[in-house]
Amino acid sequence: EVLVAEVFRRHGFDVILQGGDQADGGIDVIVKRDGGVYLVQCKHWRAQRVGVKVVRELYGVVAAEGVDGGYVVTSGHFTPDAVSFAQGIALQLVNGRQLAALLADELDL
Tell me what pLDDT residue 31 has. Answer: 98
pLDDT tens-digit map of 17-73: 986 544 456 799 999 999 999 999 999 866 679 999 999 999 999 999 999 999 999
Tell me what pLDDT residue 82 has. Answer: 97
- Give pTM, 2 decimals: 0.90
Rounded to whole angstroms, the Cα distance separating 107 from 67 reads 24
Question: Which one-letter amino acid corresponds to residue 52?
Answer: V
Tell me what pLDDT residue 105 has. Answer: 82
Is the CB of residue 38 less than 8 Å from the CB of residue 30? Answer: yes
